[in-house]
């Protein structure tokens, strides 16, 4: 049975600009609030996966070099090769909030050449409600939280022609991708 998901998003954005003689400043930010409900029906129980397996012929214990037996024979001798067991809730709520802000200055160096310099900050925060750390595995129950997501965008624009100019643009910047909600679902 496949996973089922319901997702609700609220996006809020604001930008404002200031114009000077040779400068054009832009400031802005946005926030995206996402609530998610995942339902994983496969988490209700466990399953055995049988494949041809090599076993000790007298004890039927799995071994690297031994007698190869079929999945049915492995089942009759209780020598299952793989077992997958899932515990816990069949639901997950990998809710996430994303925030970003930027400041940019476009400088008109000449009548044909403009340069843009700026800074952008992105942050993605996950809900940790219901996450429990296993004392035997301290890294469990934690979600990544990186606060060093500063990106310096730089751009150039050059106009060729007078009445209907052809504009050649070049740019560089860093982009921080979103961490998929499925990562935190598991």
Pairwise CA distance, residues 79 & 65, whole Å? 15
pLDDT tops 60 at residue 43: no
Say yes or no: 65 and 15 in one domain: no
Give CA angle at 174 (172, 180), nearest 5°. 140
Domain that holds residue 180: 4-38+92-185
- Closest C-alpha to 173, from 122, 124, 97: 122
Say yes or no: 65 and 136 in one domain: no
- What is the average per-residue pLDDT within 7-12? 86
pLDDT of residue 88: 64
pLDDT tops 80 at residue 34: yes
- What's the predicted TM-score (pTM) here? 0.62
Say yes or no: 77 and 101 in one domain: no
DSSP letters spanning 65-80: SSEEE-HHHHHHTT--
pLDDT of residue 47: 66
CB atoms inside a 10 Å sphere around CB 34? 19
CB 149 within 8 A of CB 133: no
pLDDT digits (tens, 9 = 90+) for 57-91: 888 888 888 888 887 777 777 776 666 666 667 77
Say yes or no: 109 and 168 in one domain: yes
Say yes or no: 102 and 164 in one domain: yes
Give the chain's end-to-end CA distance (angstroms, integer): 17
Residue 135 CB contacts under 8 Å (≥ 6 apart), including other chains: none
- Closest C-alpha to 88, from 137, 130, 144, 142: 130
Say yes or no: 134 and 65 in one domain: no
How many Cα atoms within 13 Å fall on the side-chain side of residue 154?
A: 2
Q: Please tell me the total count of domains within the chain.
A: 2
Both tokens of 53, joined, read 């397996």
pLDDT tops 70 at residue 2: no
Say yes or no: 34 and 54 in one domain: no
- Closest C-alpha to 128, from 140, 137, 141: 141
CA distances from 76 to 21, 61, 66, 70 (A): 85, 13, 17, 10
Say yes or no: 53 and 124 in one domain: no
pLDDT digits (tens, 9 = 90+) for 110-150: 989 999 999 999 998 887 777 777 788 877 777 777 888 99
| H helices present in the chain, as ranges | 71-76, 181-185
The neighbouring-strand residues paired with 97 are: 33, 125
Say yes or no: 163 and 98 in one domain: yes
pLDDT of residue 122: 92
Say yes or no: 74 and 110 in one domain: no
Q: Which residue has the higher pLDDT, 165 or 44?
A: 165
Say yes or no: 55 and 124 in one domain: no
Say yes or no: 69 and 159 in one domain: no
């Amino acid at each position: 049975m496949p996973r089922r998901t319901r997702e609700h998003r609220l996006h809020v954005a604001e930008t404002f600009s200031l114009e000077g003689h040779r400068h054009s400043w832009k400031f802005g930010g946005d926030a995206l609030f996402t609530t998610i409900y995942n339902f994983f029906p496969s988490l209700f129980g466990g399953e055995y996966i049988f494949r041809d397996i090599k076993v000790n012929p007298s004890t039927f214990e799995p071994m690297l070099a031994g007698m190869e037996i079929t999945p049915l024979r492995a089942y009759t001798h209780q020598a299952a090769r793989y077992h997958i067991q899932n515990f816990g809730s069949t639901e997950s709520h990998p809710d996430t909030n994303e925030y970003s802000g930027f400041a940019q200055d476009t400088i008109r160096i000449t009548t044909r050449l403009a340069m843009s310099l700026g800074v952008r900050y992105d942050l993605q925060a996950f809900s940790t409600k219901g996450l429990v750390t296993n004392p035997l595995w301290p890294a469990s129950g934690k979600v990544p939280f990186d606060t060093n997501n500063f990106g310096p965008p730089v751009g150039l624009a050059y106009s060729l022609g007078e009445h209907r100019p052809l504009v050649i643009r070049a740019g560089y910047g860093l982009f921080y991708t979103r961490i998929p909600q499925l990562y935190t679902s598991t």
